[in-house]
Amino acid sequence: MPKYTNLNIISYFLFDVHHTESLLKYDYFNAFDKDAIQILLSAVKDFSDKELFPYIKEMDEKPSYFIDGKIMVHPQFETILKQASQLDLVKASLRFEDGGLQLPISVFHSLYYIMEAANNQVTGYLGLTLGAANLILAFGSRQLKDTYASKMLDMTWGGTMCLTEPQAGSSLSDVKTQAIKVDHTDYYLIKGQKIFISAGNHQFADNFVHLVLARIKGAPFGTKGVSLFVVPNKRPTDDGLEDNHARVIGEFEKMGQRGYCTTHLSFGDEPDCRGWLVGEENKGLAYMFLLMNEARIATGRMGAGIASAAYYASLKYAKERPQGRLLNNSGKKDVSHEQTLIINHPDIKRMLLLQRAVVEGSLSLIIQTAHYLDELKVCEKQDKEKYELLLELLTPIVKTYPAEQGLRAVSNGLQILGGYGFCSDFILQQYYRDIRIISIYEGTTGIQSLDLLGRKVTIKNGKTLHYLMEELSLTITEATHYQEIKPYANQLKEQSDLIKTVLAKLIPKALAGDFENYLADANSFMDLLSTIVIGWQWLKIATTACKNGNATQLENNLIQTMAYFYTYEMAKLDGLVKILLNDKSITVKANAQTFD
Amino acid sequence: MPKYTNLNIISYFLFDVHHTESLLKYDYFNAFDKDAIQILLSAVKDFSDKELFPYIKEMDEKPSYFIDGKIMVHPQFETILKQASQLDLVKASLRFEDGGLQLPISVFHSLYYIMEAANNQVTGYLGLTLGAANLILAFGSRQLKDTYASKMLDMTWGGTMCLTEPQAGSSLSDVKTQAIKVDHTDYYLIKGQKIFISAGNHQFADNFVHLVLARIKGAPFGTKGVSLFVVPNKRPTDDGLEDNHARVIGEFEKMGQRGYCTTHLSFGDEPDCRGWLVGEENKGLAYMFLLMNEARIATGRMGAGIASAAYYASLKYAKERPQGRLLNNSGKKDVSHEQTLIINHPDIKRMLLLQRAVVEGSLSLIIQTAHYLDELKVCEKQDKEKYELLLELLTPIVKTYPAEQGLRAVSNGLQILGGYGFCSDFILQQYYRDIRIISIYEGTTGIQSLDLLGRKVTIKNGKTLHYLMEELSLTITEATHYQEIKPYANQLKEQSDLIKTVLAKLIPKALAGDFENYLADANSFMDLLSTIVIGWQWLKIATTACKNGNATQLENNLIQTMAYFYTYEMAKLDGLVKILLNDKSITVKANAQTFD
């Protein structure tokens, strides 16, 4: 059986560490019990084993392509999309009234994590259709919902999110796709180009529904003048579907995720490309960002999934490959002995522990974040602010940590294979290529870091961090009861105070209006806070593992991995603090002439 | 003009920082003066501009391939190899008596660095031919020299180094290619397979000469039973060349360096594959390692070259791409303004400074190391030990730092391009793929780290480190004279003491025979020592830049980059020390069951 993730660990994280069962007592989630969720996890694992994992390499070697105005993806997608629809994988987490099943988001993300570990070229096609439908369901008119959403939820039609333009990547203020209201109709005429549109068209959907950011003629400058439109490839009329003059005009050839198409769309090259406004004028970016938060969690999850697959691929190799010998106590190797398996070398174990620590720490944070989303649906009114602010704070982290550290994990996985890791016959080199996009999708690490330090930390005078530290305190207090992990609880207590030290130094810069220096090392702040957050997750996992007294092998392994994280990964925090406390403004003062 | 390196910086490093001119006064090097070297640098830059750089992308897109028992490389190699021969690029650094020009190795490495920055698929073909010829010249009989070396030095024939076998990668003790002495002849019959043989055959050389590690029947176990043989594809006879039954049987398809072939060779599938012993029986590995040290410097140099190319490619983009706006002093962006070039964003400048710091710090160390090789040729007898031991210590570092940090630099370069960095239309994704092999070639980072801590640090009771610290002291003392950089001199003084702290803790473990724990974190020790060594190089560069009083723009930029290195890169040292001082033996205690 292919091994790319461990269902026991996912289940342990959901039910033991993050108490998913506690959600199921609420009316909102009562369509599911624990058994139903376990069955669902197994069903998706089974689907991934059979339909996803066996095709990952082939999708890379025979990538999607653009021909005759069409995008062609790997033929296996026909089966995949059909079965994904049968498993309700697009609509599962939506509300009953929207046609969904009200599955906890924490479980939903676990299902996608499994699929992404099996084959990271696949879930984008589902996720973007869901994201686009979600926008319509959240902000669209009754008519838009009726016309588009249900067809997208059962995957007859696909969906995309159209933000980026050639001159406007991270800077959505500069979107210039145009929308002109047509008098006496309910639509606008859309004209403009969008690039890097993931999952934009393929041969296995009857129609595509694009959610497009555009500027209504005369709208204000910047993000305040951006509106959101539904622009289908084919628009429904009384007689069926008619061409809506939205075209795919190319595909971007990429280093990785080559089975997952990235398209160039053009709207209105022919005269009659119609778009329907979603919600109110000029509020498009606010709508988009509500969904963007989910997309950012999903992106982090995809990174963790790829890193999981790489971990198991390198583990398999390490358990099978003989090479070298252990040292005897005179520091020599006895060459008359058989070679040892490389998994017995400490440096190989280091690379495996590093991968586990990153992969499972990330997974736990993904479930944690999703759990807050679930809580938001059922919690008392007075708890709402807490969960909302925790989500604001954690979203850039859950996007970034698995991207940045996941890449490092995958690269360590490749290293375990030595020269074979670089060869196309082995899958590690593909994961190394695939995961490189994760720190770019949905806002680069630079953008996430600015968001974290520039916006999230300062909301309501730092209430976001206040709530986070409360959560850490709860975990620390609980962990302190167990001798085995008490030193780690103390370490987290001490190291989480570093955040205060850093902000005490930085905040005055912001207050003095020196935002450039305030934000110059946002990247290091991201590294600092995200490592502490993952440390919190590991302590939570280890505390759970200690609770039952007689730890299982799985629990012992988790405790060992926690110790690795605290000893090796958290060692870097003092260095990050040094960077954040320095006053030299080196990067601010540098200019174009510095680089020759 | 294509920009992939900066000749002014190379020249500054050679003549101002590392005093290459001081070598030229010795008889050994007196065929060259400073002008001649400058002309040579320009000639190789010109060759690289015209014949190497324009083909790098095409060599990736149309990689070398195996067909009908032959390896076919890109047709441009015909021109490249011819011109490289005309420029004496293979033999330049060899002794007159061996047919060389006695060019300083420090200059030689600079030439190759330029070529590698232009196109990293090329130099391996030259370097391996040189390496193989060098082995023959150093240890072969008169007859072997006459028969093979001169034809290799003018590149009529190519050469390879055949170490790795399917069951013996890092563990050369386990080589099992067989050599059987044929009575009454001067040769042995060779039988066995070698994999990952770089540059093994191509259509533009008349013959290939393989330097093969093999085991003579009855030889002792392990490395002590390994001998070195010359095994040509075609053997010279009185009537010309005849088939020697050495075959290419395949090529490894790789993620990167796709224009640089990696072959699978088979010796003696047909009965008469002859090999000629180089030097004495059972000393093959010792011979190979003498050359391996040069190969390791060359590998680090290749990593630095790739990172240099990535730096300039990302710099070009950063200087041309408008995106976003700078913050005003209320922390907002004025969207009515034009977008700013991304080079004005501090986070982009951080990524550029990181790249410069790694690229130029690596280059300086490469020249420093090569300078010691040059000194060895001309120094007084009493200085020989110093240079030899410094070379022992620095070789694993000069191999590893540009590999590990170069990868990080390239990845940051890619990040500067955002989504375009991931697209095949831009070159960054290729550099990201190409550089990934550097930490695997010629001994992985794990192997280099074991070599550094397990062997190099302990030679003559730590005399290697003693010499290194003396070198650091000289630089620190000189730097202390300049107010502007004095704080950095103090920082290096303080932080270089960390090595002592760490070894005081580690050495007792080795003395107690606990080599597994002594070496368990060799990887972190490598990171620690190599960062200090690069810090030393940066201080040396900055001191040179301060010397003239009126610093030029180039010198100011170097001083700024030094400040970046000391503030951002050296911040991590305390964390590494924490790891190295911990007593938990986490990676040693983990076992196969830890990973599930």
Res. B334 pLDDT band, cuts 50 70 90: confident
* Contacts by residues B315-322 (CB-CB < 8 Å, ≥ 24 positions apart): B315/A595, B315/B3, B315/B343, B315/B352, B316/B3, B317/B342, B317/B416, B317/B417, B317/B420, B317/B426, B318/A595, B318/B342, B318/B343, B318/B348, B318/B352, B318/B416, B319/A592, B319/A595, B319/B343, B322/A167
Q: Least CB-CB distance to A418: which of B169, B425, B567?
A: B169
Render pLDDT for A89-98 as a digit per residue (tens, 0 to 9): 999 999 999 9
Which conformational region is residue B103 in: left (phi greater than 0), alpha (psi within -120 to 50 degrees), or beta?
Answer: beta
Res. B326 pLDDT band, cuts 50 70 90: confident
Name the minimum distance, in Å, from the CA of B470 to any CA of chain A: 27
Dihedral, A13, A15, A19, A21 alpha carbons, nearest 10 = 150
Name the minimum distance, in Å, from the CA of B102 to any CA of chain A: 32
Render pLDDT for A190-207 as a digit per residue (tens, 0 to 9): 999 999 999 989 999 999
Average pLDDT over residues A585-594: 95
Q: Least CB-CB distance to B419: which of A429, A440, A553?
A: A440
Res. B6 pLDDT band, cuts 50 70 90: very high
ipTM, 2 dp: 0.97
Angle, helix A105-118 to helix A34-47, in steps of 10 degrees: 20
What's the DSSP call for residue A488? H
User: Which one, of B6, B109, B117, lies nearest residue B56 by Cα?
Assistant: B117
Mean residue pLDDT across chain B: 96
Amino acid A7: pLDDT: 98
Can you tell me the distance from the alpha carbon of B452 to that of B295, in angstroms, rounded to the nearest whole number?
Answer: 16
SS3 string, A158-221, reads EEEEECCECCECCCHHHCCCEEEECCCCCCEEEEEEEEEEECCCCCCCCEEEEEEEEEECCCCC
A 10 A CB-CB count for A249 gives 13
Residue B567 reports pLDDT greater than 80: yes
Amino acid A337: pLDDT: 84
Average pLDDT over residues B563-569: 98
Amino acid B168: pLDDT: 82
Residue B258 reports pLDDT greater than 80: yes
Can you tell me the distance from the alpha carbon of A17 to that of A14, in angstroms, rounded to the nearest whole number?
Answer: 6
A 10 A CB-CB count for A516 gives 18
CB contact under 8 A, B520 and A196: no
B578 φ/ψ angles, rounded to the nearest 5 degrees:
-55, -45
First CA to last CA distance, chain A: 54
Q: Least CB-CB distance to B415: which of A444, A454, A576?
A: A444
Name the minimum distance, in Å, from the CA of A517 to any CA of chain B: 9
Res. A326 pLDDT band, cuts 50 70 90: confident
Residues of B in contact with A560 (CB under 8 A): 586, 589-590, 594
Average pLDDT over residues B52-70: 97
**Which amino acid belongs to residue B456?**
K
* Contact by Cβ (8 Å): B267, B192: yes
Rg (Cα) of chain B, in Å, rounded?
Answer: 25
**Which amino acid belongs to residue B165?**
E
Provide the token pair at A154: 């059962």
Render pLDDT for A474-518 as a digit per residue (tens, 0 to 9): 999 999 999 999 999 999 999 999 999 999 999 999 999 999 999
Q: Least CB-CB distance to B594: which of A8, A433, A557?
A: A557
Render pLDDT for B111-141 as a digit per residue (tens, 0 to 9): 999 999 999 999 999 999 999 999 999 999 9
CB contact under 8 A, A221 and B335: yes
Residues of A in contact with B515 (CB under 8 A): 327, 329, 331
Instruction: Select the residue from B349, B425, B456 to test the A interface by mutation, using most A Cβ atoms within 10 A.
Output: B349
What's the DSSP call for residue B94? S
Residue B338 reports pLDDT greater than 90: no
Mean residue pLDDT across chain A: 96
CB contact under 8 A, A516 and B584: no
Provide the token pair at B245: 């039954």
CA A369, chain centre distance (Å): 11
Name the minimum distance, in Å, from the CA of A327 to any CA of chain B: 7
Q: How far is CA B458 from CA A144, B73, B288, B450, in A?
A: 74, 44, 22, 12
Output the pTM of the full model.
0.98
Name the minimum distance, in Å, from the CA of B146 to any CA of chain A: 35
Can you tell me the distance from the alpha carbon of A355 to that of A298, in angstroms, rounded to the nearest whole number?
Answer: 20
In sequence order, the β-bridge partners of residue B178 are B191, B215
* Contact by Cβ (8 Å): A260, A60: no
Percentage of chain B exceeding pLDDT 70: 100
CB contact under 8 A, A331 and B595: no
Q: What count of residues does chain A have?
A: 596
Strand A157-162 relative to strand A207-216: parallel, antiparallel, unpaired?
A: parallel
Q: How far is CA A377 from CA A21, A34, A179, A384, B93, in A?
A: 15, 19, 35, 9, 73
